[in-house]
Structure formats: structure tokens, C-alpha cells
Amino acid sequence: MAEFLSAGAVLDQMHQTIERAQEHIFLVNPVLKINPGHIVPLGRAHDRGVHLSFLYGCSKVRIPDPMTRNVLNHFELFCYEKLNIRCCFNEEQLVIISHNPFQVLQSRSGVAGLLLHAQKDQTHYEEVVIQVLSEAKQGRKIELREIL
């Protein structure tokens, strides 16, 4: 069954999603931005041969800082104009982020996300993955040099 996550748990589960990935990591964020705490684990995932993809909102591009730029070099990038979801998934689990976890931590409010497991929550997991992949396919593939 899906698990509601606090802000701290969202960050932890995103980290675990990256660390446990064997084949693929897909990040989805309306803004082309990576949490600084995830840069090193993403680099390690790339070194393990994990395929990295990032779907972001085309109109919300920020020039990434040098560390983020280095890790983005390893990503297959897609942009989609109408993107509203924030999530991270691998072949085992998916974390849906409902709010900025850092803002939730500061405000000490409740739920910041939802964790779905590929096996236990198969239907919902697959629905979200299919939707994300559909948006990536409808969007356009981007080369990092196009946005720098």
C-alpha cells in the first residue's frame, strides 16, 4: 500500500531510490534542478551503469550550477510544456513529491509526498510511470548544450 511521507522521508526515499537503482532513474521536476544532496549519489548511479533521465518543464529552465551541470551531462533530458508533477522513480519504487520538502521541513507541516512500490502498488506505480513516459515522448529531447 502507498505510504505517505514527511518531508524528511521524501528526501530519504529519493536518496534510496537513486542508490538502489539497478537499471534506470527517472527524475521529473517542473524546474531543471537537482537537490545538491542527490548529485553524488546520481554520479555513483551513472558509474554503476544506471540510465539517467530527467523530464522538466520547458519554460522553467534555470542555468544549473557547475556541479549540477556535471551530473546533467550524464542525463537524457526531455522537456514538456505542461509538466506539473514532481517525482523520482526507478524499477522498484516511485516517490511523488507534493511540496518542496525543504519548505515543508521549515514550516513543520505534514505530508510532503507519497511512496509507491512497483510490486505492492503495481497499478498506481504503473499508471504514474506510463504518464511520465508519455509526457517525455510528447515532449522534446534536449541536449544540455541547448540550455546552457
- What pLDDT, on the 0 to 100 scale, is given for residue 60? 66
* Greater model confidence, 28 or 104: 28
Mean per-residue pLDDT over the chain, rounded: 88
Please report the pLDDT score of residue 111 as a whole number.
67
Question: What does DSSP say about strands 51-56 and 75-79: parallel, antiparallel, or unpaired?
Answer: parallel
Q: What single letter denotes the amino acid at residue 105? A: L
Q: What is the pLDDT of residues 89-106, one digit of tens each?
A: 999 999 999 865 455 444
- For residue 108, with 0-12 CB atoms within 10 Å meaning exposed, 13-18 middle and 19 or more buried, which class applies? exposed
pLDDT on residue 88 = 97
The answer, yes or no, to whether residue 69 has pLDDT greater than 60, is yes
